[in-house]
Structure 1
Amino acid sequence: MVLSFAAVNAQSGYRDGYLITTSDERVEVSILHRDWPSNPTKFRYRLPGTEQVRYGDLTTVKEFGFVEGGLRYRRFTVDLDGSDVRTRFLSESPKPEFRRSTVFLQYLVDGEADLFYYENGNRRYFLYRSGESTPQELISREYLNGTRIVDNTNNFRSQLQQKVSCGVERADLLRVHYRKNSLVDFFTDYNHCRGAAVVRYERFEHRPRVRFAAKVGVERLAGKGLHERGAGVLRYGVEPITAPRLGLEAVVTLPFANRRWALVAEAYYHRIQHQTVAENELIFDYQSVALVGGFRRHIGLGRETSLFLGAAAMYQFPFYSTVTMPRGGAFAPRTPSVSGSNGAYQVSGGLLLFDRYQLELQYTTAQNLIQTSLYRYTSLHTVSLLFAYRLR
């Protein structure tokens, strides 16, 4: 199972890029963009015209990036503060506890003065350098002095004033924060002030994409009905019921993680009719409009095929609906009208072909279709088989 998922992920999300080997050879490649939450230590790539997956890492690659902007990483051996940032484990030393590491640093600004970013777990670092020197960490940390936490997070401003300053007043430095956008703006302004060419590197940004799909399918409902009366409970069986379903779905693909996550909204109509009369059996004539909201995760199988898993919440709004429930003994059947919304949860999985045809299997948790009675209710589970056609 692990190997099959690795193979699935290896086939999607490749972007045109390059790498520079340790022998200073530049090679044009396609790199698997994984939207790395931490700086990568290795990456997957393919040579032009081949499907073979290769691996680059800190021992074989000096630099890699994407052709059309976005991301650029370069290997450096740098000193990074390794002291713990968690409050109860803070260091008692005001000085950084440097540890030498060889890592891929992410370029944020390339100019006369460069700005880099490094993230590893819950630690994030900004580093800078002038010319071709070794990057130095911009220090922002807290430490303990007895039982008191000393805020030493503004040291980086002193470093900027001493090393990367071009007509900057102290008041201007106070407006610089230890955040990506703030530091990128500061280093960009510095390079402009020095008359140097400057390149800003940003992660790939995509606008959310909205797609609509027409959906049809069948539902299979089964469960029971309950009537609480006095000290006892009457149980009524519900034979499996098949009902048609027709709806419209909107999918908003999110602009991160290689666009594998999406928000999903759906409205659909269905009518449940069950006319067979038997002892202790419910009779349905139930129709409603259901509204669904949730999320979906895609797993690529190839350039035009993917699996998906989803979860959602659903609310039904019935109209002109009744559920006839026998009362047993000498009592006549009771047919309460159905009104008010009722909710449930849905989980689903399916296959998307050619980014247009969708086959989905969906399970809906138990629903009570009778909302107007305190003593009568249903518990119906639903399994649905759905087909969708995505509109352009």
Structure 2
Amino acid sequence: MRFSTLLTGLFVTFLVLFTETAFSQVTFRKGYFIDEQGVKTICLIKDTDKTQVPGNILFKMDEAGPIVERQTSTLREFGFEGLSRFIREKVMIDRSSSDLNNLSTDKNPIWSEEVLFLKVLVEGKASLFYYTDAKNEHFFYSVDSSEIKQLVYKKYLVDQLIVGVNNTFRAQLMQTMHCDEINKNELEQLQYQRKALERYFNNFNASNGQTSFQFKEDPERERFHLKLAPAMNQASFVIRELYDPYTVFDYGQNTGFQLGVEAEYILPFNRNKWSLFIEPGFYSFHKEMPVKNGISRVRLNIIEFPVGMRYYLFLNRNTKLYANLLFIPGANIHLNTAIETKYKYYSSILDVNELYNFGGGLGITYKKLNAEFRYYTNRDFLQRDINYYTEYNRMAFILGYRLF
């Protein structure tokens, strides 16, 4: 069986597996909910990856159990053990828009009483809560289990050209959460942002001799990875004349190795499922064919710099499937690259100047190892030539190792 046929079969098989897994994957995490009577149920809850609390949750008592739907309006609390906690509370909330096109001229909050599910961010002597309505982010707080109140932050129009900001949240924290370990300048510069507020609440709790519990939806992971990415390429090379379809130089197929490294950055959202990467690599293609009164040779030695985006499907703690798309720029480094035909009395050399192309791959990662099947779209190495163009088709099997 030829290498290209083997790769094609493996790619199709893996594509079917990836597609089935992508459509069937429903992640249930260990969690709990507490009903209005205070009864706590430990179960597996579907993880929706949404920042807003849904109108219902889907849960099952164990992996083999049936999926049950429960309205969140009938719950007092729910969450994922150690990762997140949502509590239902009656609070006063200001929903004034922060959209510059819909700002109010009133600097004061416009209060309304609502029952909301608040996400607990920091729990301790001082606790921090979070709520979003898809347009604005709202933070709430409580000290010594007191009434939960919103931290006031509101943008408003001073006139048609000037936007003012009501930063009352700083005064609220000064009155209720001031201590010697936190200086006034730090508080005056505090931003109405999640990380900044979490840090402030943690520092306050620590200064009062108490340990905060901070919920983190995702464990801290390394965002940057460096991998070795050697590959085995199967490629074919054909030169065709633009105005004569019968003039064809078919150099056939060539199997060769590619040396590469990959730098990957895991994007900090959507459960670490997306990443961006760049994969510099060196590959070569050397073939020759007889022509009338001579011989024609192709010699490609190229360092290319593909960039791409990757999506992961987590199967378990150590194993994940992934799919990626790549863009390969036309600006590459050529090392002794030439397309040359030598006849008895003269030589013809074509100017190598390739066009960009794309690639797509499906792979699997197990701990530090990964294997990937990748296809590349056709590449023209004679884009500036007015008489000829090339058909360079390539597919690869990559076996990688993550250094860190």
Q: Which interval holds the TM-score relative to the shorter structure?
A: 0.7 to 0.9
Give the match for residue 7 of structure 2: none
SS in 2 for 1:183: helix
1:344 matches 2:356? yes
Give the match for residue 131 of structure 2: 118
Structure 1 unaligned residues grouped into runs of 5+: 227-232
> Among residues 255, 269, 277, which one is paired with 1:244 in the alignment?
255
Matches within 5 A, 1:63-212: 63-67=77-81, 69-166=82-179, 170-204=184-218, 205-208=220-223, 209-212=225-228
Equivalent pair of 2:84/2:216 in contact (CA under 8 Å) = yes
**Equivalent residue pairs, number:** 372
1:380 matches 2:396? no
Structure 2 unaligned residues grouped into runs of 5+: 1-15
Percent identity among equivalent residues?
A: 18
> Among residues 314, 323, 331, which one is paired with 1:308 in the alignment?
323
Equivalent pair of 2:97/2:135 in contact (CA under 8 Å) = no
The residue identity in structure 1 corresponding to 2:262 is A
Q: Distance in 2 between matches of 1:39 and 1:147?
A: 33
SS in 1 for 2:228: strand
1:26 matches 2:37? no
- Report which of the two has the higher share of helix: 2
Q: Deviations over 1:226-252 (max 9, x none)?
A: 6xxxxxx88864548423242245363
SS in 2 for 1:275: strand
Distance 1:286 1:376, change over 3 A: farther
Q: Distance in 2 between matches of 1:359 and 1:289?
A: 21
Distance 1:34 1:379, change over 3 A: farther
Shift of 1:90: 0.9
Q: Distance in 1 between matches of 2:365 and 2:160?
A: 61
Distance 1:40 1:270, change over 3 A: farther
SS in 2 for 1:335: strand
Q: Deviations over 1:257-282 (max 9, x none)?
A: 33322325241422142515379xx9
1:287 matches 2:300? yes
Distance 1:301 1:138, change over 3 A: closer
Give the match for residue 337 of structure 2: 321
Distance 1:148 1:31, change over 3 A: same
Q: Distance in 2 between matches of 1:115 and 1:390?
A: 43
Equivalent pair of 1:28/1:48 in contact (CA under 8 Å) = no
What is the CA RMSD across the aligned residues, in angstroms? 4.0
The residue identity in structure 1 corresponding to 2:254 is A
Q: Distance in 2 between matches of 1:47 and 1:19?
A: 12
Q: Deviations over 1:189-209 (max 9, x none)?
A: 333444555322334221134
SS in 2 for 1:64: strand
1:273 matches 2:301? no
Distance 1:82 1:382, change over 3 A: farther
Equivalent pair of 1:273/1:285 in contact (CA under 8 Å) = yes
Shift of 1:218: 1.0
Give the match for residue 215 of structure 1: 231
The residue identity in structure 2 corresponding to 1:89 is N
Distance 1:151 1:301, change over 3 A: closer
Give the match for residue 310 of structure 2: 297
Distance 1:321 1:265, change over 3 A: closer
SS in 1 for 2:348: coil
Q: Distance in 2 between matches of 1:34 and 1:254?
A: 20
Give the match for residue 10 of structure 1: 26
